[in-house]
């Protein structure tokens, strides 16, 4: 497969002949042609990668904005719930005051009470003062609760939409990252292969066989009679 051309074949690196799809006795002109042919698709691949990355960034931005709106909706819902709770407390207090005012007028004589007994007329008067604010207070509480419910539902919808956008972003990242990594490796190996194989000295060093030693290492003979030893990696081209 095409990607196989850009895999390390020994601890010394890549087989540049395989990477450039040329024979080992290829001359410089052939190597230059192979390099140019190999690099030709890079521009299109780069443009596609940039499009994918741009789409990924836009999706992430949309997800962040959606989650921000969701947080604002939740904050508004918390505020509305607080208003509703305060209104209910206020209504509860007013109802208690109304109940106390009315009931005080009907306490039997001689009963022990901790509050001053009112006449029925006074009780009706006080009730007339205490009752009017209660209905609008309850209506305000109900309206605030409805707003809190609406904001909470909207926040849930926004969070769900944001999660879907994050899922899309993960899919895009799953496509863009390997593509970008392959593009980087391919262009780097092409460049290294061209620079190595068109330089006589570097080509001679590259062409020397790699011999396995110590089980996990590979050695190449150097010009001064010694050995250049590298360990780790694959040994596909080792003897």
Task: Tell me the pLDDT tens digit for each residue of 93-117.
Answer: 777 777 776 676 665 444 444 455 5
For the chain, report the end-to-end CA distance as a whole number of angstroms: 23
Q: How far apart, in whole angstroms, are the C-alpha atoms of residue 205 and residue 202?
A: 5
Distances (CA, A) of 88 to 78, 128, 132: 15, 20, 15
Distances from the Cα of 111 to the Cα of 89, 115, 173, angstroms: 30, 11, 80
Q: Say if strands 211-213 and 217-221 run parallel, antiparallel, or are unpaired.
A: antiparallel
pLDDT at 156: 82
Number of alpha helices (DSSP H) and beta strands (DSSP E) in the chain: 6, 5
Strands (DSSP E) found in 63-216: 211-213
Of the candidates 178, 184, 182, 197, which has an alpha carbon nearest to the alpha carbon of residue 21? 197
Tell me what percent of the residues of the chain surpass a pLDDT of 90. Answer: 4
Residue 225 scores a pLDDT above 60? yes
Q: Longest C-alpha distance within the chain, in Å?
A: 125
Distance CA 134, CA 58 (A): 51
Cα–Cα distance, 107 to 113 (Å, whole number): 8
- Does residue 73 register a pLDDT over 90? no
Does residue 1 have a pLDDT over 50? no
Q: Which residues contact 123 (CB under 8 A, 6 or more apart)?
A: 101, 102, 104, 105
pTM: 0.51
Give 181-199 pLDDT, tens digit per residue. Answer: 888 888 888 889 899 899 9
Closest listed residue to residue 19, CA positions, set 217, 220, 195, 222: 195
């Amino acid at each position: 497969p095409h990607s196989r051309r850009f895999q390390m074949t020994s601890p010394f690196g890549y087989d540049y002949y395989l990477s450039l799809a040329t024979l080992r006795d290829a001359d410089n002109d052939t190597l230059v042609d192979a390099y140019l042919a190999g690099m030709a698709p890079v521009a299109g691949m780069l443009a596609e990668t940039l499009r994918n990355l741009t789409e990924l960034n836009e999706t992430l931005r949309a997800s962040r904005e959606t989650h921000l709106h969701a947080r604002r909706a939740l904050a508004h819902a918390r505020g509305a719930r607080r208003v509703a709770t305060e209104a209910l407390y206020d209504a509860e207090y007013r109802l208690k005051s109304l109940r106390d005012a009315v009931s005080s007028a009907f306490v039997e004589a001689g009963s022990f009470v901790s509050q001053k007994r009112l006449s029925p007329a006074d009780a009706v008067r006080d009730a007339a003062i205490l009752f009017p604010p209660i209905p609008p207070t309850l209506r305000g509480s109900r309206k605030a609760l409805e707003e809190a419910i609406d904001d909470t539902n909207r926040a849930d919808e926004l969070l769900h939409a944001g999660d879907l956008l994050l899922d899309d972003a993960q899919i895009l990242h799953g496509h863009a990252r390997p593509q970008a990594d392959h593009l980087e490796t391919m262009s780097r190996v092409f460049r290294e292969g061209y620079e190595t194989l068109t330089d006589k000295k570097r080509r001679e060093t590259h062409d020397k066989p790699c011999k396995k030693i110590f089980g996990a290492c590979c050695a190449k003979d150097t010009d001064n009679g010694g050995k250049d030893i590298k360990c780790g990696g694959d040994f596909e081209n080792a003897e």
